Amino acid sequence: MADKIKGKGVISGIAVGTILLAGQNLDGYLVNYKPGKLDAEKKKAAAALVEVAEGMKKSIDDFNSKGLKEQAAILEAHRMIIEDPALSGAIDEKLNECGSAPKAVLDAAEVNAQIFESMEDEVFRGRAVDIRDVGKRIAKFLLGIKEPEIAGKVIVAGKEIEPSVIAGLPTDKIAGVILGAGSTTAHAVIIAKTRAIPTVVGVGKGIEQMADGDPAILDGGTGDILIRPSAEERASYDEKIKKQEELKAYYATLKTLPAKTLDGVEVDLVANIGSPADVDAANGFGAQGVGLFRSEFVFMGKTDVPKEEDQFKEYKAAVEKCNGNLCVIRTMDIGGDKPLPYIQVGAEENPFLGYRAIRISLKREDLFMPQLKAILRAGKFGKAAIMFPMVINVQEFLDAKAMVEKAKRELAAEGKDYSDDVQVGIMVETPAAAVMTPILAKYVDFFSIGTNDLVQYTLAVDRGNAQISYLYNHFNPAVLRLIKRTIESANKEGKWAGMCGEMASDPCAAILLMAMGIKELSMSAPSIPRVKEVIRKITSTEAKNILDKVMEMEDGDKIKDYLATLTF
Amino acid sequence: MTEATTTIENKTGIHARPASLFVQTASKFKSKVQIKAKGKTVDAKSILMIMSMGLVKGTEITISADGPDEADAVSTLKELVDAKFNEE
């Protein structure tokens, strides 16, 4: 019999694979480690530092030759820590105390990490993770623990999973994801979503029942997890897996069909992406372009302001892959929660209400200008649009738009080719912007409703807080009214409105939004077939009737319940 | 021993990139190089120790070197700090 664990299924699908624990605990290995004489241990530790640093040099060269500059830069920083005299000094000191090389390495890293963790500056604090990571790497080397070799498909499990862990594994190797923490909007989950990896969250201590290499089955629809299943239990999933394959085959037949209602109302279904490579996957699901290109990856992991030329290459690649469809690129949406060396935000009580996104861009021309120029130049290779995040008033948009015009003048003066036909719009993700859409619509080319933040800001609910997550509901009547207002404001001025938050991938929401007059729904690509299926099954009159009924209802939970009774 | 005192003027202070640049530069010299600031003295060839001092904009630091190329080391490092690590 298997160990059964129940969590919350967030990305549906059945996954079969072996468990790969992220954030491995070394305690068990340490207990069994038999240290030699002090001198021998010191020599061993010193040799390990050299070996690990050498090994990293190879990986760094490898990353560099493949153009993976970010990964190379992170490893380079880790390598400098390994070669640091302060670390080897601390290891020697700790060895005198405990006599075990691997333990001394971990302790020394911990001491250094804590120094950084106690610092006021957020950027300094962030380095603590790197130092612990380095300590673990060396300790594993000393303990003879090899990085797990991935033979078949794995189910990545961890209390918390660093986004880099999932991003770093090849997609075809990851069958599923299990997260101890409860957030459905954790970055690891968002990445899993763009790749359609079945995922279960909120299993809490259930993680402790798993060991590396355990065979497991996961149902991302129900949240059921079976660890070490028997042959019968394994067989009981065969039917479900078969159905899953059939559904996949059916969805594939929808790929080239339009998202059009029975009476001919059409909505563009497009993709949210994080890098140009995601466009290929999105096209595979039948996306008709990109509604949200999160440009953050261009900024993350860099020690300097990203250059116009480097950004241009990335944007151009994404625009070209869209094959003439629109590619909406959101300008930098970073703040104090993701500190970067070249953006000094400082400690803030509320990074999500702080100095971030367009607020930084407008003050930092050195950051903003290269990005705008890069997008305008990429526009020459297809159809690009610029979207500003976090806007709360008309002036911010006008200031940002003036910068776009300035960027064009500079490009012209520099003799660089750019497109004059790049739409400029905003994310509607603050209640202030949603309320002001009748005015904003006079100036923008389009709105894209960012529901993750709009719901969070409107309801004053932190989406990551498990205690109040029951309040987070995109069908809340207040939220629905702001969305409706935004769409109607756009249509009234002859502009278009789309949506790029999680809500867009909810088939029930798609019906309501279509009835409100939305023109574009942007979502993680694997959700496209299901939304398209629903839209193709109804008429716009039916959708309108459902919307009328919903707008009369007074409670978000009741609206949710009502929509769940509809079958498509 | 050679010494020079200066003030950190670049916006981001000495962390991440500036710190690694400082260490890489300091490591090119044979002399023992140290930074003194906020009453502490640390090895200028250690990125961990330099970063752990939390040298933000406006901090006064003294760079000192002791060895065969001490004068060159101090002047090169002071120049790097004064040039705001070529950041701005």
A321-343 pLDDT, tens digit per residue, is 999 999 999 999 988 777 787 88
Question: What's the pLDDT score for residue A73?
Answer: 67
* Number of structural domains in chain B: 1
For residue B57, what is the domain's CATH number?
3.30.1340.10
pLDDT confidence band for A124 (50 / 70 / 90):
low
Could B46 and A342 be called an inter-chain contact, meaning their C-beta atoms sit closer than 8 Å? Answer: no
Question: What's the pLDDT score for residue B21?
Answer: 79
Q: Which residues of A are catalytic?
A: 187, 500
Q: What is the mean pLDDT of residues A486-495?
A: 98
- Out of A308-312, A361-365, A488-492, B25-29, pick the least confident: B25-29
Could A81 and B48 be called an inter-chain contact, meaning their C-beta atoms sit closer than 8 Å? Answer: yes
Cβ(A24)–Cβ(A238) below 8 Å = no
**What does each C-alpha distance from B25 to B33, B46, B67 come to in angstroms?**
11, 11, 16
Collapsing DSSP states into helix, strand and coil, what is residue A276? coil
Which residues of chain B have a CB within 8 Å of the CB of A112?
Answer: 48, 52
Residue A24 has pLDDT above 90, yes or no: no
Could A304 and B17 be called an inter-chain contact, meaning their C-beta atoms sit closer than 8 Å? Answer: yes
The three-state (H, E, C) secondary structure of A463-514, written as one string: CCCHHHHHHCCCCCHHHHHHHHHHHHHHHHCCCEEEECCHHHHCHHHHHHHH
Which residues of chain B have a CB within 8 Å of the CB of A304?
Answer: 17, 87
Residue A23 has pLDDT above 80, yes or no: no
Q: What is the mean pLDDT of residues B63-78?
A: 93
Which residues of chain A have a CB within 8 Å of the CB of B12?
Answer: 123, 341-342, 344
Could A81 and B16 be called an inter-chain contact, meaning their C-beta atoms sit closer than 8 Å? Answer: no
pLDDT confidence band for A415 (50 / 70 / 90):
very high
Could A121 and B52 be called an inter-chain contact, meaning their C-beta atoms sit closer than 8 Å? Answer: no
Residue A345 has pLDDT above 60, yes or no: yes
Give how far B52 is from chain A: nearest CA, Å.
6
Residue B88 has pLDDT above 60, yes or no: no
Q: Which residue of B has its CA nearest to A304?
A: B17
Residue A164 has pLDDT above 60, yes or no: no
d(CA A75, CA B38): 31
Distance of alpha carbon A272 from the chain centroid: 10
d(CA A104, CA A97): 8
- CB-nearest to A124 from B15, B17, B46 is B15
Phi, psi of A255, rounded to the nearest 5 degrees: -45, -50
Question: What's the pLDDT score for residue A123?
Answer: 60
d(CA A76, CA A110): 20
Question: What's the pLDDT score for residue A410?
Answer: 97
What is the bridge-based pairing of β-strands A446-449 and A215-219?
A: unpaired
Residue A313 has pLDDT above 70, yes or no: yes
Question: What is the domain extent for residue B58?
Answer: 2-86
Cβ(A46)–Cβ(B9) below 8 Å = no
Q: Which residue has the higher pLDDT, A466 or A536?
A: A536
Burial A466-476 (b: 16+ CB within 10 A, else e): eeebebbbbbb
Could A116 and B11 be called an inter-chain contact, meaning their C-beta atoms sit closer than 8 Å? Answer: no
- Residue A379 corresponds to which tokens in the numbers above? 């526009």
Question: What's the pLDDT score for residue A137?
Answer: 83
DSSP string, A194-235: HTT--EEE--GGGGGG--TT-EEEEETTTTEEEES--HHHHH
Q: Which residue has the higher pLDDT, A553 or A20?
A: A553
d(CA B44, CA B48): 10
Q: What is the mean pLDDT of residues A300-316?
A: 88
Question: What's the pLDDT score for residue A163?
Answer: 58
- Out of A145-154, A474-483, B20-29, pick the least confident: A145-154
B54 in A contact zone (CB under 8 Å): yes
Give how far B14 is from chain A: nearest CA, Å.
10
d(CA A195, CA A20): 18
Collapsing DSSP states into helix, strand and coil, what is residue A99? coil
Question: What's the pLDDT score for residue A185?
Answer: 61
Could B12 and A341 be called an inter-chain contact, meaning their C-beta atoms sit closer than 8 Å? Answer: yes
List Cβ neighbours of A314 (8 Å cut-off, separation of 6 or more).
A275, A276, A298, A374
Which residues of chain A have a CB within 8 Å of the CB of B16?
Answer: 77, 123, 127, 303, 341
- Out of A41-45, A179-183, A372-376, B24-28, pick the least confident: A179-183
pLDDT confidence band for A63 (50 / 70 / 90):
confident
Considering chain A, what percentage of its residues have pLDDT values greater than 70?
92
User: Residues A438-469: pLDDT tens digits?
Assistant: 999 999 999 999 999 999 999 999 877 778 88
pLDDT confidence band for A369 (50 / 70 / 90):
very high
What end-to-end distance do the CA atoms of chain A give, in Å?
Answer: 37
**What does each C-alpha distance from A152 to A20, A199, A231, A244, B50 come to in angstroms?**
11, 18, 18, 20, 44
Give how far B34 is from chain A: nearest CA, Å.
13
Collapsing DSSP states into helix, strand and coil, what is residue A178? strand
pLDDT confidence band for A171 (50 / 70 / 90):
low
pLDDT confidence band for A272 (50 / 70 / 90):
very high
Question: What's the pLDDT score for residue A25?
Answer: 65
Could B52 and A81 be called an inter-chain contact, meaning their C-beta atoms sit closer than 8 Å? Answer: no
pLDDT confidence band for A126 (50 / 70 / 90):
low
Residue A421 has pLDDT above 80, yes or no: yes
Q: What is the mean pLDDT of residues B7-25?
A: 78
Question: What's the pLDDT score for residue A167?
Answer: 59
Which residues of chain B have a CB within 8 Å of the CB of A363?
Answer: none
Question: What's the pLDDT score for residue B87?
Answer: 62
For the question of residue B15 being annotated catalytic, the response is yes
Question: What's the pLDDT score for residue A122?
Answer: 60
List Cβ neighbours of B79 (8 Å cut-off, separation of 6 or more).
none
Give the B window 28-47 contacts with A, CB below 8 Å: 43, 45-47
Collapsing DSSP states into helix, strand and coil, what is residue A563? helix
Q: What is the mean pLDDT of residues A287-304?
A: 88
Cβ(B36)–Cβ(B80) below 8 Å = no
- Out of A68-77, A219-228, A328-337, pick the least confident: A68-77
Closest CA to A529 of A212, A286, A221: A286
Sheet holding B60-66, edge to edge: B2-7, B60-66, B32-37, B40-43
d(CA B42, CA B35): 5
Question: What's the pLDDT score for residue B48?
Answer: 83
d(CA A256, CA A451): 28
List Cβ neighbours of A176 (8 Å cut-off, separation of 6 or more).
A13, A15, A17, A155, A156, A197, A198, A199, A200, A216, A218, A220
Question: What's the pLDDT score for residue A567?
Answer: 78
Residue A398 has pLDDT above 70, yes or no: yes
User: Catalytic residue among B15, B32, B78, B84, which?
Assistant: B15
Q: Which residue of B has its CA nearest to A118?
A: B52
Distance of alpha carbon A47 from the chain centroid: 39
Q: Which domains does chain A have, with CATH numbers?
A: 3-23+150-247 (3.50.30.10), 27-143 (1.10.274.10), 255-565 (3.20.20.60)
Sheet holding A3-6, edge to edge: A3-6, A224-227, A215-219, A14-21, A154-158, A174-179, A199-201, A8-11
Question: What's the pLDDT score for residue A113?
Answer: 84
Question: What's the pLDDT score for residue A15?
Answer: 92
Residue A427 has pLDDT above 60, yes or no: yes
Q: What is the mean pLDDT of residues A66-76?
A: 67
Q: What is the mean pLDDT of residues A386-404?
A: 98
Sign of the dihedral through C-alpha A8, A9, A10, A15: positive
Question: What's the pLDDT score for residue A80?
Answer: 82
Residue A128 has pLDDT above 90, yes or no: no
DSSP A343: B
Closest CA to B9 of B79, B64, B71, B72: B79
d(CA A233, CA A245): 19
Residue A125 has pLDDT above 70, yes or no: no
DSSP B30: S
- CB-nearest to B16 from A84, A115, A303 is A303
Residue A506 has pLDDT above 90, yes or no: yes
Phi, psi of A558, rounded to the nearest 5 degrees: -65, -40
- CB-nearest to A342 from B12, B20, B54 is B12
- Out of A431-435, B36-40, B70-74, pick the least confident: B36-40
Question: What's the pLDDT score for residue A74?
Answer: 66
CB atoms within 10 A of CB A548: 10
d(CA A122, CA A130): 14
**Residue A411 host element (H or E):** helix A394-414
- Out of A94-98, A107-111, A149-153, B48-52, pick the least confident: A149-153
Question: What's the pLDDT score for residue A121?
Answer: 62
Question: What's the pLDDT score for residue A67?
Answer: 67
Could B52 and A77 be called an inter-chain contact, meaning their C-beta atoms sit closer than 8 Å? Answer: no
- Out of A140-149, A151-160, A283-292, A534-543, pick the least confident: A140-149
Residue B6 has pLDDT above 60, yes or no: yes
Q: What is the mean pLDDT of residues A416-421?
A: 96
Q: What ipTM does the predicted assembly reach?
A: 0.70
A117, A127, A305, best to mutate vs chain B, most B CBs in 10 Å: A127
List Cβ neighbours of A35 (8 Å cut-off, separation of 6 or more).
A41, A99, A100, A101
Closest CA to A108 of A121, A92, A120: A92
List Cβ neighbours of A252 (8 Å cut-off, separation of 6 or more).
none
pLDDT confidence band for A133 (50 / 70 / 90):
confident
Which residues of chain A have a CB within 8 Å of the CB of B47?
Answer: 80-81, 84, 86
Cβ(A384)–Cβ(A420) below 8 Å = no
Which residues of chain B have a CB within 8 Å of the CB of A134?
Answer: none
Question: What's the pLDDT score for residue A464?
Answer: 73
pLDDT confidence band for B27 (50 / 70 / 90):
confident
Q: What is the overall mean pLDDT for chain A?
A: 89
Could B16 and A341 be called an inter-chain contact, meaning their C-beta atoms sit closer than 8 Å? Answer: yes
Q: Which residue of B has its CA nearest to A117?
A: B52
